[in-house]
């Protein structure tokens, strides 16, 4: 498996990392409050995301 710490979130999103490693992805993008399960974007407000998932 590739080393996630050397990869951009863009590359991770392209290879489906969010779906396969969602919990790990959440850690990578905190302290954002929400992230998008479709695009891999993170945001303070869920209104800026098309498929928001809350980060704990
Ligand atoms: Zn989205």
Tokens of 43: 């945001």
Q: What is the pTM of this model?
A: 0.75
Count: domains in the chain: 1
Q: What is the CA(52)–ligand 1 centre distance, in A?
A: 7
Report which of 50, 13, 15 is spatially closest to residue 29, judged by C-alpha positions.
Answer: 13
pLDDT at 4: 75
pLDDT digits (tens, 9 = 90+) for 1-56: 556 778 898 899 899 999 999 999 999 999 999 999 998 899 999 999 999 999 98
pLDDT at 35: 94
Q: What is the CA(33)–ligand 1 centre distance, in A?
A: 14
pLDDT at 1: 55
Q: What is the CA(21)–ligand 1 centre distance, in A?
A: 17
Alpha-carbon span 52 to 55, nearest angstrom: 9
Domain encompassing residue 45 = 4-54
């Amino acid at each position: 498996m590739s080393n996630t710490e050397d990869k951009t979130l863009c590359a991770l999103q392209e290879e489906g990392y969010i779906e396969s490693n969602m919990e790990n992805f959440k850690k990578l993008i905190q302290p954002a409050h929400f992230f998008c399960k479709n695009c891999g974007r993170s945001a303070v407000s869920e209104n800026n995301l098309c498929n928001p998932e809350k980060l704990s």
